[in-house]
Amino acid sequence: MIHLQDVSVVYPAGTHALEGVSLDVNAGEFVFLVGPSGSGKTTMMKLMTGEVRPTSGTVQVNGFDMARVKRRNLPKLRRTLGVIFQDFRLIDNKNVFENVAFAMRVVGAKTKDIKERVPHVLELVGLKGREKRLPQELSGGEQQRVAIARALVNAPDMIIADEPTGNLDPVKSLDLMMLLERINEMGTTVVVVTHEKELVNAFSKRVVSIEEGRIISDGSDGYYAYE
């Protein structure tokens, strides 16, 4: 799934975002990527989605060599991923159904398949009956579920979530994380980038901690296990 070997990323301004990072995530795993802001978590995530290229080292995601992948092949990589953001990133003037269907349109799915698949995914994330609503008519938690449905609809190999609970209250956050856990149990690899200690510690999952661009711990003992 993900294979990082001695990866460094230096931004043009000279910032060393990552230094000598090595990490493997296998199919079917659920991994928390944790660390304070500015630690390099977001850069790690961008390496996986192809928004940032490694300055040195090897990055492989779902079989794509991210240091060498051609720009025109990035869409192919991204179709194997489902990405979820802190700010949901829904299209304001499309309703819930269209926001989810949109991801299928992009890959050239048939209208018939879209009409079958989208309601199924919306039901899975608990949004049945909300198909016609516009994003601004939904709560934050519901909007994030739409984003998860959009990430899931093409049955990706892996879901990457960047601070998915950042804009949600603790109860909604827990609900959302349980939804991601369920999705993982159904076979999708899940990588969650976060800095919320309580949330991470509520699940006994693999936790990779990053600080100042380096991995400082990797285990199943919860957040800040090294403290």
Partner 1 sequence: MNKFGYLLKEGFKSIFTHGFMSFASVTIIMACLLIMGSFGLLAINIDNMIGDLESENQILAIVDETYTEEEARALESQVAAVPNVTSVEFITRQEAMDDFAEQYPEKVFEGIEASTFRDRFAVHLDDLSLTAETSQALREIEGIAEVSDSLEIANGFVTVRNVVSGVSMVLVLILVIVSIFIMANTIKLTTYGRREEIAIMRMVGATNAFIRFPFLVEGLILGLIGAVLAFFIEWGVYDVVFDRIMAGLVGNIVEILPFTTLMLPVLIIYLGIGVFVGAFGGLIAIRNYLKV
Taking the complex as a whole, how short is the minimal distance between the CB of residue 56 and partner 1, in angstroms? 19
Pick from 110, 171, 220, 227: which binds partner 1 (CB under 8 A)?
110
Q: Which two tokens stand for residue 61?
A: 């995601």
Taking the complex as a whole, how short is the minimal distance between the CB of residue 38 and partner 1, in angstroms? 22
Based on the shown chain and the rule CB under 8 A, indicate whether residue 70 belongs to the binding site for partner 1: no
Q: Under rule CB under 8 A, how many of the chain's residues touch partner 1?
A: 27
Based on the shown chain and the rule CB under 8 A, indicate whether residue 122 belongs to the binding site for partner 1: no
Rounded Cα distance, 223 and 204, in Å: 10
- 94: phi then psi, degrees, rounded to nearest 5: -110, 145
Based on the shown chain and the rule CB under 8 A, indicate whether residue 128 belongs to the binding site for partner 1: no
Taking the complex as a whole, how short is the minimal distance between the CB of residue 93 and partner 1, in angstroms? 5
Q: Which two tokens stand for residue 17?
A: 């975002």
Based on the shown chain and the rule CB under 8 A, indicate whether residue 132 belongs to the binding site for partner 1: no
Place of tokens 């349109």: 105
Pick from 68, 76, 128, 197: which binds partner 1 (CB under 8 A)?
76
Residue 157 vs 175, nearer CB to partner 1: 157
Based on the shown chain and the rule CB under 8 A, indicate whether residue 102 belongs to the binding site for partner 1: yes
Residue 89 vs 128, nearer CB to partner 1: 89
DSSP string, 59-97: EEETTEETTT--GGGHHHHHTTEEEE-TT----TTS-HH
Taking the complex as a whole, how short is the minimal distance between the CB of residue 78 and partner 1, in angstroms? 4
Based on the shown chain and the rule CB under 8 A, indicate whether residue 115 belongs to the binding site for partner 1: no
Based on the shown chain and the rule CB under 8 A, indicate whether residue 155 belongs to the binding site for partner 1: no
Taking the complex as a whole, how short is the minimal distance between the CB of residue 113 and partner 1, in angstroms? 10
Helices 170-185, 140-152: crossing angle, 10 deg rounding: 20
- 192: phi then psi, degrees, rounded to nearest 5: -115, 120
Taking the complex as a whole, how short is the minimal distance between the CB of residue 39 and partner 1, in angstroms? 23
* Listed residue (51, 99, 40, 57) closest to 75, CA to CA: 51
Based on the shown chain and the rule CB under 8 A, indicate whether residue 49 belongs to the binding site for partner 1: yes
**Sheet of strand 64-65: strand arrangement:** 16-25, 2-10, 56-61, 64-65
Rounded Cα distance, 24 and 164, in Å: 22
Cβ contacts of residue 76 below 8 Å, gap of 6+? 64
Pick from 27, 106, 155, 186: which binds partner 1 (CB under 8 A)?
106
State the residues that interact with partner 1 by CB under 8 A. 49-51, 71-72, 74-79, 81, 83, 89-91, 93, 102-103, 105-108, 110-111, 150, 154
